[in-house]
Amino acid sequence: MLRPDSPSLILAPMEGVTDAPMRAVLGAGGAFTFAVSEFLRVSQHVPPRSVFLRHVPELRHEARTPTGVPVQVQILGGDAGRMAEAAMVAVNAGATAIDINFGCPAPTVNRHDGGATLLKYPHRIREIVSAMRSALPPGIPLSAKMRLGWDSIDAIDTNAEMAAEGGVAWLTIHARTRMAGYQPPVFWAAIGRVRARLGVPVVANGDIWTIDDFRRCRDETRCDHFMLGRGALADPTLPGRVAAELGLRPAEPELPFDWVAQLQELVDQTRDWDAARPNRVVHRLKQWLALAAAHGSFRAFDRVKRALTVEELFASLRAAPP
């Protein structure tokens, strides 16, 4: 997983987006050091092994995607004891690293004592991390992902310290508060302030849409580790360029991106992983293209958004490539 002495690029967990098929597709280019799964919620009951295997099917294959990318299991919840139990169930199912979600801004999650709501209770962050660290074998890394705070960016100082005291091996910080949601601006400098004094590696996350954004984020945070989420979907060539800047792979000439080939790979991976219904596959393709149209350079969304089948969507793209 993350090595403090070597830069890393991580694929972000995005609920309903970066599932196993998407992790396989985005990881195929070799840019990502590892990926983090979508969160598995731990509420009144600890999920059994079968649930972990269904939610993170890579656990059946040494916790790696079919394209070889290691996958870290992320769990979410507010009860320290149940979170510790769940972490051990995940390890028994094949997990090689565990991440804690202290950042999800979804109101439903927050109302049920999960995600970013824990940012209001710093000592509970330490309690949860400590309980999980004590339960896990020494060789299983434990990390956490959080936002800058609930409604104040200054809360990150205390919350990050609590996570470090609890025993995280590294910390991923999204450069917004929960109340900010995904609205601009981001506060990368606050991440840099934490990195400078925390004592554990810090991964910078939030609004890295372009290579220039990455360079500004790196300049402001001085981080060696970065997480890409929506930016990697909006521009699938971005991870490779960031990886080259980090020295993780050689720089390659920029070529026109083959959307048809990439989308076909997602179709194939989706069918291989979960035999999804055809209308579900079409939804996944449109979901990706809508993000690329809104935040990237994809210009053909109006042509494909009304497609009812995979075949219709690909016919539209092949008739006039974007």
Active-site residues: which are they? 104
Nearest CA to 119 out of 82, 88, 162, 89 is that of: 162
- Cα–Cα distance between 222 and 215 in angstroms, integer? 10
Peptide bond into 185 cis (omega under 30): yes
- SS3 letters for 263-288? HHHHHHHHHHHHCCCHHHHHHHHHHH
Closest CA to 22 of 300, 288, 282, 226: 288
Q: Report how far apart the first and last C-alpha atoms of the chain are (Å, whole number).
A: 36
Alpha helices in 114-258 (DSSP H): 122-135, 155-166, 188-198, 211-221, 230-234, 238-245
CA-CA distances (angstroms) from residue 139 to 7, 13, 142, 175? 21, 23, 9, 29
Cα–Cα distance measured from residue 57 to residue 67, given in angstroms and rounded to the nearest whole number: 13
Q: Closest Cα to residue 6, out of 193, 232, 252, 243? A: 243
Burial of 230 (0-12, 13-18, 19+ CB in 10 A): buried
Joined tokens for residue 256: 């026109």
HSE, CB side, 13 Å, CA atoms: give it for residue 117: 13
